[in-house]
Structure 1
Amino acid sequence: MQLTILGGGGFRVPLVYGALLTDRGEGRVTRVTLHDLDPARLSAVARVLAEQAAGIPDAPEVTATTDLDEALRGADFVFSAIRVGGLEGRAADERVALELGVLGQETVGAGGIAYGLRTVPVAVDIARRVARLAPDAWVINFTNPAGLVTEAMSHHLGDRVIGICDSPVGLARRVARILGADPDRASADYVGLNHLGWLRGLRVDGRDELPRLLADPEALGSFEEGRLFGPEWLMSLGAIPNEYLHYYYFNRETVRAYQEAEQTRGAFLRDQQARFYDEMALPDTPALAAWDRTRAEREATYMAENRDAAGVGERDADDLESGGYEKVALALMRAIARDERTTLILNVRNRTTLRVLDEDAVIEVPCLVDANGAHPLSVAPLPGHATGLVCAVKAVEREVLAAAGSGSRATAAKAFALHPLVDSVTVAHRLVEGYTSVHPGLAYLKRP
């Protein structure tokens, strides 16, 4: 099988290739095509992959190209992992928002809207090309904001595009470990949108063990989400929120922490990865060692501002393990290619899963995956507090899609103004002005 990775010069691509190297089964990926607009980044990542594959027989063959159509032809699976505007764009998203006193995180609030406005047109173009050049391919979307971008691509690819995120899996695995359960045997009741979901149950051998955790304040405070949100709040909710809900529940504290930080997350990653790629420009640099060192620093500093706002210090070693988005992607490909039925938390079209949303709305829920794709499993209705947030944020996503399709600045301003973390129509218009002034990719937004 051929796997094409769009954004193939991206820093996290070696995680995907490392997962592919562990797969020795029939029907595995044997060819990987990397596509990126930056030849130097492609070359750097290809060197890391070559060192990963050293000594491994029958490692997937790797080729690289800057020609998108060439990359798509013949693909069985397409990973979309692009970053429109690069990390400089992410840093600008954060800076513009913070100057106006609102959150600039890349998937949540004003920053997520700005990122979506410049990413959706590119993602739609990719979806159209896939439909024309590789109509039988499955697209696995990593590109943020993952739910929004997956929904935009689904208008052209239907159910053949599936969004993935490692946050829900990481959350479920952390909770399982706290409960003394095997994470691989636990079944999560998780529901919401991407970066806006709640773990409501964790079944082990048919029994929901989450109530036992929610009744134990000491245990609740012993892992990442418990430290972020506080045991009392988790007990009040009766669920464990995705870590990104910290931006909603503690918005003022988080915005202040971001404003007081020496660097925003985007600026940190921009500078860190620039050093990595500069180092990789030297022919004698040990590629894999340089990548491993950079990744360790990246993981240790993840969501540092939120932990500062919560006063919980550095991450524990047990919390450094993510859900492993590369492992989720591999499991998804294997289930489809080999009809190995499995259950994964994915971003898919709603159908009738959540009745407060329409059928085409992309949601994040457990899905049964087989050769015919991902099928959302039935879930209990959302509680009132979650329904309000999910419906409000989905309405914002729809305005982003409308603005991207029409090029209307007024619709873009409406998207900002409707977001729960942007509390002013005046600020919304200033955000549009600020973002269009720093992002050439938003030049398509026109005044009436």
Structure 2
Amino acid sequence: MKLTVVGGGSTYTPELIDGFARLRDTLPVEELVLVDPAAERLELVGGLARRIFARQDHPGRIVTTSDLDAGVEGADAVLLQLRVGGQAAREQDETWPLECGCVGQETTGAGGLAKALRTVPVVLDIAERVRRTNPDAWIIDFTNPVGIVTRALLQAGHKAVGLCNVAIGFQRKFAGLLGVSPAEVHLDHVGLNHLTWETGVRLGGPEGEDALPRLLAGHGDTIAADLRLPRSLVERLGVVPSYYLRYFYAHDEVVRELRTKPSRAAEVAEMERTLLKMYGDPALDEKPELLAKRGGAYYSEAAVDLAASLLGGGGSPYQVVNTLNRGTLPFLPDDAVIEVQAAVNAKGPAPLPVPAVDPLYAGLMAGVTAYEDLALDAALRGGRDRVFRALLAHPLVGQYALADALTDQLIAHNREHLAWA
């Protein structure tokens, strides 16, 4: 089995490598190719990756290359984890929206749109090259904004599934609070990428006992603290929202906070400098503890599970993925990309039935889906008016003066990445 990671020079890659090494019985990788244009970073990450495999007696071979076509040739699955523009572009995404009084964040609002505009054309080019070289390969997208990027891939006819670590993070957290193994926890997870709610926490499978009321009653303070939302709000909702919902439920509070502290991009950039120095130490042969603060917890477990199922191996029967709606949520278009539990096998994901969704959540999903429609149109066809329309549709913007100002800022800060600008 050959897997290729595009963006393999990321400082987060050793987390993925560690998962491949530990879970080799689930996903027996024979060759792992790390592709990245940043040759110096790639060699540092690749060196540590080989040492991790060696320490855990993994027989697989790790190859590093800056040649995308060579890297994806013959791959059974290609994982996308790239960041167009690097942390410098992320720093801009997180700062210029604040000047207009809007949340600065890399996956939602104006910053998220900027990332989508930079990313979609690059990902589609990669996917076309994968299809020319190996049309049967699965593409697993972890590149944000996952929902929009996955929709672009599926709309272009690629064999693609989107993946996020929010659900597996909740699964692990709830399992610990309940004193059970993660495999026993099945989430009733519904929404769009980074706009999701846990409406049930079932023990043993989709038809198991719902432990969510017990979790909220016994551990409400802990859950609310993790979300940085009041316990009273979580109790009134009766569900557990993703922590990304704080950008919607406490927007102005978040803006005030973000204006008083360094950006997350600045924190991550400093962390990356430290990590790369550590990766260069030939004695280091395991992922460092600092990596846990980098973000993306449990991504490796989720990626192994998904790849194993798609490639006909021993993945979990149900997994939370980003895939086409196709009637699962009747209030959204069939070609919308939703994030729900699905049965996954070599044919791809098949979403499980979802009970009727409360209008409180369905309405927000519908609004953000409309924004994603317009965002993808702007990413594919360009133009100031298309950017403006997407921003005007976004629930975190929604005013013409703000949309106009944000459009000008977005274009000014991303001109080098926008072929039409």
* TM-score after normalising by structure 2: 0.93
> Larger relative CO (CA 8 A, sep 6+): 1 or 2?
2
In structure 1, the residue matched to 2:237 is 237
For the 8 Å contact 1:94–1:264, the answer to whether it is kept is yes
In structure 1, the residue matched to 2:347 is 372
Alpha carbons of 1:27 and 1:97: their partners in 2 closer, same or farther (altered >3 Å)? closer
For the 8 Å contact 1:94–1:111, the answer to whether it is kept is yes
For the 8 Å contact 1:397–1:415, the answer to whether it is kept is yes
Q: 1:420, 1:134 → 2: CA distance?
A: 40
In structure 1, the residue matched to 2:312 is 338
Q: 1:242, 1:445 → 2: CA distance?
A: 35
In structure 2, the residue matched to 1:211 is 213
Match of 2:404 among 426, 429, 436: 429
Deviation for aligned residue 1:173: 2.7
1:31-80 Cα distance to aligned partner (Å, 9 max, x none): 01111111011011012112212344343211111111111111101000
For the 8 Å contact 2:27–2:307, the answer to whether it is kept is no
Q: 2:171, 2:58 → 1: CA distance?
A: 34
For the 8 Å contact 2:118–2:418, the answer to whether it is kept is no
Identity rate, percent: 35
SS of residue matched to 2:419? coil
In structure 2, the residue matched to 1:319 is none
Q: Which runs of 5+ in 2 are unaligned?
A: none
The amino acid that maps onto 1:432 is T
1:194-237 Cα distance to aligned partner (Å, 9 max, x none): 110000011114211112333x2x52112355662222111211
Q: Equivalences for 1:39-188 in 2 at 5 Å? A: 39-158=39-158, 160-188=159-187
Mean Cα deviation higher: 16-25 or 380-389: 16-25
In structure 2, the residue matched to 1:328 is 302
Alpha carbons of 1:443 and 1:182: their partners in 2 closer, same or farther (altered >3 Å)? closer
1:142-193 Cα distance to aligned partner (Å, 9 max, x none): 10011111111112234x2011111112113322332344332121111000
Deviation for aligned residue 1:423: 3.9
In structure 1, the residue matched to 2:254 is 254
Q: 1:203, 1:409 → 2: CA distance?
A: 46
For the 8 Å contact 1:186–1:202, the answer to whether it is kept is yes
Q: 1:213, 1:400 → 2: CA distance?
A: 37
In structure 1, the residue matched to 2:228 is 228
* TM-score after normalising by structure 1: 0.88
For the 8 Å contact 2:75–2:137, the answer to whether it is kept is yes
Mean Cα deviation higher: 226-235 or 132-141: 226-235
Q: 1:224, 1:173 → 2: CA distance?
A: 16
1:242-272 Cα distance to aligned partner (Å, 9 max, x none): 11111111111111100011x1101211232
The amino acid that maps onto 1:89 is A
Q: 2:381, 2:103 → 1: CA distance?
A: 26
1:401-436 Cα distance to aligned partner (Å, 9 max, x none): 111221111101111121111142222222222122
Q: 1:102, 1:408 → 2: CA distance?
A: 22
- Paired residues in the alignment total 417
